[in-house]
Structure 1
Amino acid sequence: MHYRISSSNPSSRIIEVEFFLTDLSSPTVELQLPAWRPGRYELQNFAKNIQRFEIFDPTGKPLPFQKITKDRWRVQTEGVSALVARYTYYSNVINAGTSYADDRLLYLNPINLCLYADDRLRENCTLELVIPDNWQIACGLSKTGSQTLTAADFYELVDCPLIASPDLQRADYEVGETVFHVWMQGAIKPDWERITHDFRRFSEAQIRLFGSFPEKEYHFLTLILPTAFYHGVEHRNSTMLVLGPNDEGEGLYTDLLGVSSHELFHAWNVIRIRPAELLPYDFTKENYFTTCFVAEGVTTYYGDLMLRRAGVFDDAAYFKEFQVLLKRHFEPSGRAFQSLVESSWDLWLDGYDKGVPNRKVSVYYKGATVALILDLHIRRKWNHERSLDDVMRLMWERFGKPFVGYTLGEYRAVTEEVAGEPLDWYYDHCIFGNEPLENRLNDYLAFIGLRLESDTTDLVSAPSVLLTLVDDAAGQQNRLRWLGEQSRLA
């Protein structure tokens, strides 16, 4: 499968796509456009952005075709050995999961606009960009020329976003055998010395936790906007980040650190340590799964914690972000009806919308809160000799490295193995249940000299919460070990 992508009139926000499919032998072929993208578990129906759609044989003769679903076309190919589909894609939105074109930028998430044939998903793909010679390309795919990228298969192709522009800035650093590239596009003058220093530190901390890194190269692809924005999406050997405003203040830099650490943790957790229901991805429909509290909640918990362990954040900076995390769970959804597994499942329904009050919880924020509870439970029982770090290492060794996918039952078994006991209370109340977490959380926060305070005892309205330090020598010592030490399970 080969793709040629251009934008002859970028002010129109139209991207032109040519899709070449060869070695045809059947009388018909069905072409599919993805309906959703990994990292965002909701149908996005990218076909709604297609403006014109035509299909031809190699001589330029139109081929008859019929649209058979909202994003699938059946083409009559009897007697034809190849075809080319030519279509235009409207690209007027910028976030970390879209595509966009203007006179100095071609930004692509191939999942948005690349067709495929079901029986060709494992074939090599090439992506040719029609761009000026002086433009750079930032992408995790291999290059076979100045404007052509290659992927081992369709799954790799659509898991590698790209930025092409004459204005790209880049700095590199190495950790072990992995080269990390930090790309910036936007009206900003990066402090590269500071960025590479801090990025190297949190990258080292995460690699120490897992013991190895999945890739030889990794790319932080960053678009900086003039307006306020915060969005990141994980990918196979890269992450796509969209941030703003471009005022170069500390707020922007803190956001850059936070989202970059979160997305790098995904290089293990969900890119490789992946729920079994998502192996392989089915891009045509919902891929329901119940463990997004692991994929996103555990990652959210570790994102800022890794910055503190690496010394990028001091205690004050970390607890500021930690307070925000807890407020985002307890204040809007601390009394919500759904459990984490129910809200994981319902991501495909309305998981990214505000929705009905007190119905669902955030797999990110409640997921992170219960990850903290589990981590502190294991640490308290084993005096920090074991922790959630050991859970994630075992998940990496058993499911991530062999890339076999895990079930909720298998995750539970690993957590109980590390804890050295059944965890019925944890799964019944924190994962499958919907009880308020304040009392249980405070029991564990006391272990590390912290307390969650609420300004109301009203069980109907959501409390406003405040995280405070407790003057307790034992708690302070445990807090230091929690923030700095990564246990090693014997």
Structure 2
Amino acid sequence: MQYTLSYIQPENHYIAIEILVENIDAPAIDLQLPAWRPGRYELANFAKNMTRLFAFDRQGNQLQVNKLKKDRWQIQTAGNASIVVKYMYYAQQMDAGGSWMDEKQLYVNFINCMLYVEGRLFEECHVKLILLADYQIACGLEEKEKHVLYAKDYYQLVDSPMIASNALVHKTYQLAATTFHIWVQGEADSLNWPQILTDFKKFSAVQMKMMGGFPCPDYHFLLHWLPFQHYHGVEHQNSTVITLGPASQADTLYPELLGISSHELFHTWNVIRIRPAELLPYDFTRENYFTTGFVAEGITTYYGDLFLARAGVFSTEAYFAELSQTLNRHFMVANQASLSLLESSFDLWLDGYTAGAPGRKVSIYHKGALTALILDLELRQLTNDARSLDDVMRYLWQHFGPMEKGYTLVDYKKAVATVAGKDYTQYFEECIEGTSSLENRLKQALSYVGCVLQTQPNEQNPGNLIVQVVLNPNRSAEAAIHLQNWIGNKGK
């Protein structure tokens, strides 16, 4: 598949896209635009941004196009072995999952706008970008020649967003055999680069140490440093896009930059490669229901800030402040929700990213992080710190990641039981499949590491709580050791 994207009249925000489809041996082919994007489990209707789709033979004769669904078209090939498809895509969505074109940059999440031929998802894809000569490209794909990107197949293509600009700021750091790239589009002068490179290297090293290396030879942080308030990140095969602002508040936002970057980096293992079976491979035409969203997002949310504490980037107090904020997002809103974490994972496709009906659902991010915290501390207490959630993640990585074999809920339960050395059904019944408050279980888990959960009623949401995790001033020397084992020697 050969795609061409043209940077023409950027002030209109329309990307001109052309696809050369060769080796056709059928009277008709179907073209599909993805209905959703990985990392955001809801239908996105990208086709609403498409216009003026036409098909031609190599001599320029127009071919018949029939629209089959809102995001699917059929081309009558008229016996041609190769055809050209042309259309326009409106790119004016500035977040980590969208696309944007203006006089300063071309930013594309290819999942938004690249049609594929049904049955040919595993063919190599080339993307030629018609850009200004001085534009540089930030992307996880290989650029074998100037302004031409290469992907081994469609799945890799749409999991590799790009920014093209003549104002990109580019920094790198090296850990073992992996080169990490930080690309910034926007007001990069406000950033403290020596501190960023030091801190990013620290939390990257901690993640690599826990997981036993890094799964790819290079990784790219693509940061839009925006002039307005914004916070969003999306994980990809060997990259992440982060949109953050306002840039004028760089110092205030720095903990947010660290937190979201650590979170997205851990997704390189958890969900990109340690993937629920229902998402392997992705079906881009419809909802891909799965019940383990609390593993994919909840565990990643828990570890994102914990890695920063283990790396010494966050102090213990700063880590507890972030942890308390995450827990409050659950306890202040959804402590008495009627749906379990398992049911809420399944219902991501229904209303997972909106407030929804009061008291109905829980967040796989917030309650998922809460249940990950409980499991981690309980495993540590059960084994006197010999095993933890770290071992569960390494088990999943070893058994499912490299083999590109998806895991099921049963597989995750088996991983937990294997690490615990005993049946752990009661945890799943109460924390994952149940709807009762986890306040008491959390208090008990925190006591093992010399911490207490301070609670007070939430007057605005009766039945819910306002919580804060703090160190117990009367903690024992033994609890202090457990705390150090949990957060790490540098997390003081």
TM interval, shorter chain, is over 0.9
Q: Which residue of 2 aligns with 1:72?
A: 72
Matches for 1:136-151 after TM superposition, within 5 Å? 136-151=136-151
- Structure 1 window deviating more from structure 2 (1-10 vs 364-373): it is 1-10
Tell me, in whole angstroms, the C-alpha distance in 2 between the residues paired with 1:387 and 1:415.
Answer: 9
Q: Which residue of 1 aligns with 2:289?
A: 288
Tell me, in whole angstroms, the C-alpha distance in 1 between the residues paired with 2:412 and 2:425.
Answer: 13
Matches for 1:173-184 after TM superposition, within 5 Å? 173-184=173-184
1:484 to 476, 480, 488: 488
Q: Which runs of 5+ in 2 are unaligned?
A: none
Tell me, in whole angstroms, the C-alpha distance in 1 between the residues paired with 2:404 and 2:232.
Answer: 27
Corresponding residue SS for 2:149? strand
Tell me, in whole angstroms, the C-alpha distance in 1 between the residues paired with 2:448 and 2:251.
Answer: 32
1:53 touches 1:85 (CA, 8 Å); kept in 2?
Answer: yes
The CA deviation at 1:460 is 4.3
Q: Which residue of 2 aligns with 1:230?
A: 231
The CA deviation at 1:226 is 0.6
Tell me, in whole angstroms, the C-alpha distance in 2 between the residues paired with 1:200 and 1:188.
Answer: 19
Corresponding residue SS for 1:453? strand
> For 1:138-188, what per-residue CA distance to the aligned partner results, in whole angstroms no more than 9, with x for missing partners?
000011211100000000000000000000001101111000000111012
Q: Which residue of 2 aligns with 1:427?
A: 428
Tell me, in whole angstroms, the C-alpha distance in 1 between the residues paired with 2:149 and 2:253.
Answer: 32
Alignment partner of 1:470 is 2:481: no
Tell me, in whole angstroms, the C-alpha distance in 2 between the residues paired with 1:328 and 1:13.
Answer: 37
CA RMSD, Structure 1 to Structure 2 (Å): 1.3
Alignment partner of 1:107 is 2:107: yes
Tell me, in whole angstroms, the C-alpha distance in 1 between the residues paired with 2:4 and 2:247.
Answer: 32
Alignment partner of 1:409 is 2:410: yes
The CA deviation at 1:81 is 1.1
> For 1:322-368, what per-residue CA distance to the aligned partner results, in whole angstroms no more than 9, with x for missing partners?
11111111111111111111111100001001111111100001001
- Structure 1 window deviating more from structure 2 (430-439 vs 245-254): it is 245-254
Matches for 1:88-237 after TM superposition, within 5 Å? 88-189=88-189, 190-237=191-238
Letter in 2 for 1:318: Y
Q: Which residue of 1 aligns with 2:463?
A: 461
1:181 touches 1:219 (CA, 8 Å); kept in 2?
Answer: yes
> For 1:244-282, what per-residue CA distance to the aligned partner results, in whole angstroms no more than 9, with x for missing partners?
000153222111111100000000000000001101000
Tell me, in whole angstroms, the C-alpha distance in 2 between the residues paired with 1:404 and 1:75.
Answer: 35
Tell me, in whole angstroms, the C-alpha distance in 2 between the residues paired with 1:315 and 1:9.
Answer: 51
1:343 touches 1:363 (CA, 8 Å); kept in 2?
Answer: yes
Q: Which residue of 2 aligns with 1:363?
A: 364
Corresponding residue SS for 2:63? coil
Q: Which residue of 2 aligns with 1:62?
A: 62
Q: Which residue of 2 aligns with 1:85?
A: 85
2:335 touches 2:463 (CA, 8 Å); kept in 1?
Answer: no
- Structure 1 window deviating more from structure 2 (450-459 vs 295-304): it is 450-459
Q: Which residue of 1 aligns with 2:393?
A: 392
Tell me, in whole angstroms, the C-alpha distance in 2 between the residues paired with 1:326 and 1:206.
Answer: 23
Corresponding residue SS for 1:375? helix
Which consecutive segments of 4 or more residues in structure 1 shift more than 6 A? none
Q: Which residue of 2 aligns with 1:239?
A: 240
2:321 touches 2:469 (CA, 8 Å); kept in 1?
Answer: no
Tell me, in whole angstroms, the C-alpha distance in 1 between the residues paired with 2:99 and 2:12.
Answer: 13
The CA deviation at 1:453 is 2.1
Corresponding residue SS for 2:119? helix
The CA deviation at 1:119 is 1.3
Q: Which residue of 2 aligns with 1:6?
A: 6
Q: Which runs of 5+ in 1 are unaligned?
A: none
Matches for 1:253-332 after TM superposition, within 5 Å? 253-332=254-333
- Structure 1 window deviating more from structure 2 (227-236 vs 460-469): it is 460-469
Tell me, in whole angstroms, the C-alpha distance in 1 between the residues paired with 2:78 and 2:409.
Answer: 46
Letter in 2 for 1:139: C
Tell me, in whole angstroms, the C-alpha distance in 2 between the residues paired with 1:91 and 1:485.
Answer: 47
Tell me, in whole angstroms, the C-alpha distance in 2 between the residues paired with 1:392 and 1:187.
Answer: 37
Tell me, in whole angstroms, the C-alpha distance in 2 between the residues paired with 1:334 and 1:264.
Answer: 29
The CA deviation at 1:467 is 2.2
Tell me, in whole angstroms, the C-alpha distance in 2 between the residues paired with 1:326 and 1:319.
Answer: 10
Q: TM-score of the superposition, structure 2-length normalised?
A: 0.97
Tell me, in whole angstroms, the C-alpha distance in 2 between the residues paired with 1:42 and 1:251.
Answer: 31
- Aligned positions, number: 486
Tell me, in whole angstroms, the C-alpha distance in 1 between the residues paired with 2:77 and 2:426.
Answer: 59
Q: Which residue of 2 aligns with 1:344?
A: 345
Tell me, in whole angstroms, the C-alpha distance in 1 between the residues paired with 2:275 and 2:223.
Answer: 25
Corresponding residue SS for 2:29? strand
Letter in 2 for 1:453: Q
Tell me, in whole angstroms, the C-alpha distance in 1 between the residues paired with 2:253 and 2:59.
Answer: 52
Tell me, in whole angstroms, the C-alpha distance in 2 between the residues paired with 1:84 and 1:240.
Answer: 31
Tell me, in whole angstroms, the C-alpha distance in 2 between the residues paired with 1:218 and 1:29.
Answer: 36
